[in-house]
């Protein structure tokens, strides 16, 4: 418990762990344990005090010399590692360095211009200006300018509230993946090289204007020669693997140096985290892996008889490689396009329930689950089915974690905080004994405060004569109404996000550390929450009998999908 209370209230998990470790391994920790064993008192100038002062001094000297010895022993390995990484990076490292300097100058310029505007006003300098390029806002801008790797790192930060401070997690939710379009001639060259034959022999037609261009890939519409099927071609942008390798090697070297300078960071496994990020990013630039994820999802739909309700694009392996993915073209609209959805189906609510059931069902029944269901990747198709796109980011969840997750979700709806605490304890890896009653009380406080702010918000809306439900019901009206709807949705989402971050923060203060899947799952639930507000404002996603989360599925029939 002493360790737990020592870390409670901290904001940065890495820092928390640092404090946690030092409090147990430092001389203070030794003093504390000795003190409790022998029931000694400490009066300054007393013999005992002098004894302990000497004891403490010798302990810290021992600690210092043992650390120094560790460092000296580790130095050759560090140097070897850095040299090896630099050799692997090669000249692309220097090029990236130049691009990095350019990006820093660009964002630095933005900061200076914002500073000059602010210094003209009498108000106090906002915190983000004081922190400069290290503030969440400018750091996010810098990451966007640095391109693919850093955008993905930014998205990783946004999805890992257990590792980063909440201000950064919140800000990096806005890390947009926009990138300049690669000229069509270059795309044609890549296609020719990858497919090993003239593109005219494979495709009847390729649209030179891309459908989408993000930092890693560019997507073009096309038609297959022979079968005349409509397809899309996802092409890995040129040089992207080199950039990823150079950037990730740089991040790795920085992590190694930080761990060398502060060995306690190695217990927080900084290098381990960087290695994990490297692995998952390199997976994302391998379209053969994405193709395998799509196929496994399609197999799941087949196996449970859901192909009439949902689909994922068929992969054309004969014209797909590691860098090129040719897929069936789906036609539809994002789940946030209420106008078109209402014109396609009589009940948008039913479509949403289908999407929820298919996704929840895949958590256990499929090898992996789709871990990026933002509206661009979740469509209502023209034929009324739900289309799942982009399987670049997937997660895996164990039945044990999911069982605890179910209890957690249910407890949100039923407001049973002790059950919520037990579920979170079950999910979070910890060696400490958690005081579940105190934890439950802290969770209740978070939920009560968010409830109070929602009630205040609705009350304020009423004051200005805007009823939430009426606003949503008239969403297809004039521009002003549409603005009111989106404003409403954004406020609610922020509240949800803040709530999630609060739960994670409080859990961590009790020594819990969640698997990455927990954050991935919560993020998807926030997306689904957004769709629910738009498509079925009266639906309680976690309580409605028509929504089958995994364990119900085992006992229920498939009627829920119809």
Ligand X SMILES: Nc1ncnc2c1ncn2[C@@H]1O[C@H](COP(=O)(O)OP(=O)(O)OP(=O)(O)O)[C@@H](O)[C@H]1O
The residues of the shown chain that bind ligand X, judged by CB under 6 A, are 177, 211-212, 214, 216-217, 219, 232, 234, 313, 327, 329-330, 376-377, 389-390, 392
Least distance (Å) between residue 241 CB and ligand X: 15
CB-nearer residue toward ligand X: 192 or 329 = 329
Among residues 276, 339, 372, 465, which one is catalytic?
372
Spatial distance between the Cα atoms of 475 and 477, rounded to a whole number of angstroms: 6
CB-nearer residue toward ligand X: 89 or 215 = 215
Hey, what's the torsion of the CAs at 158, 369, 315, 307, to 10 degrees?
-130
Active site residue 372: yes
* Residue 119 burial (10 A CB sphere; 0-12, 13-18, 19+): exposed
| SS3 at position 71 | helix
Least distance (Å) between residue 520 CB and ligand X: 15
Least distance (Å) between residue 164 CB and ligand X: 20
CB-nearer residue toward ligand X: 142 or 285 = 285
CB 214 within 8 A of CB 179: yes
Q: Which residue has 């029939």 as its token pair?
A: 557
CB 543 within 8 A of CB 394: no
DSSP per-residue string spanning 452-494: HHHHHHHHHHHHTT--HHHHHHTTTS-HHHHHHHHHHHHHHHH
CB-nearer residue toward ligand X: 393 or 397 = 393
Q: For 51, phi and psi rounded to 5 degrees?
A: -60, -45
Least distance (Å) between residue 340 CB and ligand X: 14
Least distance (Å) between residue 210 CB and ligand X: 8
Check residue 384 and give left, alpha or beta (phi > 0: left; psi -120 to 50: alpha): left
Spatial distance between the Cα atoms of 320 and 220, rounded to a whole number of angstroms: 14
Spatial distance between the Cα atoms of 174 and 141, rounded to a whole number of angstroms: 10
CB-nearer residue toward ligand X: 165 or 210 = 210
| SS3 at position 388 | strand
Least distance (Å) between residue 129 CB and ligand X: 31
Q: Which residue has 């950039």 as its token pair?
A: 243
Least distance (Å) between residue 518 CB and ligand X: 22
Spatial distance between the Cα atoms of 233 and 253, rounded to a whole number of angstroms: 35
CB-nearer residue toward ligand X: 17 or 234 = 234
Spatial distance between the Cα atoms of 264 and 251, rounded to a whole number of angstroms: 18
CB-nearer residue toward ligand X: 155 or 309 = 155
Catalytic residue numbers, as ranges: 372
């Amino acid at each position: 418990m002493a360790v737990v209370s020592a870390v409670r209230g901290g904001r940065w998990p890495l820092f928390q762990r640092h404090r946690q470790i030092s409090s147990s391994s430092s001389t203070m920790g030794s003093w504390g344990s000795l003190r409790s064993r022998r029931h000694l008192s400490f009066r300054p100038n007393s013999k005992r005090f002098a004894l302990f002062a000497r004891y403490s001094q010798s302990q810290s000297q021992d600690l210092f010399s043992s650390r120094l010895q560790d460092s000296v022993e580790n130095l050759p390995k560090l140097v070897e590692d850095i040299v090896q990484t630099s050799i692997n990076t090669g000249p692309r490292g220097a090029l990236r360095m130049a691009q990095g300097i350019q990006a820093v100058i660009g964002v630095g310029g933005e900061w200076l211009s914002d500073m000059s505007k602010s210094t003209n006003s009498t108000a106090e300098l906002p915190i983000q200006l004081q922190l400069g390029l290290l503030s969440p806002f400018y750091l996010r801008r810098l990451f966007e300018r640095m391109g693919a790797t850093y955008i993905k790192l930014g998205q990783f930060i946004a999805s890992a509230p257990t590792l980063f401070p909440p201000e950064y997690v919140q800000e990096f939710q806005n890390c947009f993946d926009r990138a300049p379009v690669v000229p069509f001639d270059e795309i044609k060259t890549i296609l020719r090289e990858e497919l090993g034959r003239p593109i005219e022999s494979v495709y009847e037609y390729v649209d030179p204007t891309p459908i989408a261009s993000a930092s890693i890939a560019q997507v073009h519409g096309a038609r297959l020669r022979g079968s005349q099927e409509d397809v899309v071609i996802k092409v890995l942008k040129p040089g992207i693997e080199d950039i990823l390798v150079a950037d990730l090697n740089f991040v790795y070297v920085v992590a190694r140096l930080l761990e060398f300078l502060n060995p306690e960071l190695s217990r927080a496994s900084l290098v381990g985290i960087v290695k994990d990020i490297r692995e998952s990013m390199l997976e994302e630039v391998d379209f053969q892996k994405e193709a395998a994820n799509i196929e496994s999802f399609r197999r799941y739909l087949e196996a449970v008889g859901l192909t009439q309700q949902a689909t994922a694009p068929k992969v054309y392996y004969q014209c797909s490689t590691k860098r090129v993915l040719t897929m069936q073209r789906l036609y539809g609209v994002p789940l946030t396009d209420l106008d078109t959805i209402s014109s396609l189906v009589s009940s948008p609510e039913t479509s949403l329930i289908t999407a929820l059931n298919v996704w929840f069902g895949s958590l256990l029944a499929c090898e992996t689950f789709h871990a990026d269901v933002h509206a661009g990747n979740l469509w209502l198709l023209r034929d009324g089915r739900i289309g799942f796109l982009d399987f670049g980011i997937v997660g895996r969840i164990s039945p044990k974690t999911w069982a605890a997750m179910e209890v957690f979700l249910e407890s949100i709806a039923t407001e049973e905080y002790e059950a919520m605490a037990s579920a979170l304890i079950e999910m979070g890896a910890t060696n400490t004994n958690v005081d579940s009653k105190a934890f439950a009380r802290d969770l209740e406080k978070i939920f009560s405060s968010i409830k109070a702010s929602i009630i205040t918000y609705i009350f304020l809306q009423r004051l200005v004569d805007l009823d939430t439900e009426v606003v949503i019901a008239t969403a297809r009206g004039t521009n002003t109404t549409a603005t009111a709807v989106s404003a409403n949705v954004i406020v609610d989402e922020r509240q949800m996000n803040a709530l999630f971050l609060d739960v994670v923060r409080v859990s961590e203060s009790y020594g819990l550390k969640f698997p990455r899947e927990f954050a991935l799952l919560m993020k998807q639930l926030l997306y689904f929450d957004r769709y629910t507000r738009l498509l079925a404002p009266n639906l309680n996603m976690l309580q409605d009998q028509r929504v089958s989360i995994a364990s119900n599925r085992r006992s229920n029939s498939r009627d829920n999908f119809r």
